Structure 1
Amino acid sequence: MANVNEDRYVGPVMRKGEIGDAVIEAIQEDNKGRDIIIEEHESYFRIKVEGECLLRFETVGDMLGSDVASSDIESAMPAFEGFIRVSTDQIRFLSK
């Protein structure tokens, strides 16, 4: 029997803007080899990564050209899909 969580997509919903754009670029960099879907809506992006989505603060900072803390990302992230794990250097969205 197949695991129903295998094909589950997880990731953040980001408000459009500088941080949202940087998060998209960082997720594409930090999750190479994973299926990534970006849904663009009027005022936000829904970023969907198959199984697990890794977002490193250092990568987002590289995209922005300045240091980034979890609070910077969280303030531009009104929602997310999956289980979230936040540490000092990254956010992980997990399907299980």
Structure 2
Amino acid sequence: METKKKEEIKKDLKKFSEGKEYCAKIGKAWKRGYLLYGPPGTGKSTMIAAMANFLNYDVYDLELTTVQDNTELRTLLIETSSKSIIVIENI
């Protein structure tokens, strides 16, 4: 990954991690999403691991094909820690 892009992502992650109180103050949900795409072997999983390591977050891999309904999905999401990265593959 180019150094400039890497620093840009790290800056965004740091800003996000420090913005919980601000989001609560303005009534906005404290969450951040990234769409990683590309063929196998291009570093998507490595990127997720690096992001989790940088933020000291847990990683959860959510397999949507095993989720029966919205209630089950909601239950799974509630069971995750507040500092987590949720990975949904092959959307």
Q: Structure 1 length as normaliser, TM-score?
A: 0.32
- Structure with the largest fraction of helix: 2
- Structure with the largest fraction of strand: 1
Q: From the CA coordinates, give the structure whose radius of gyration is larger.
A: 2
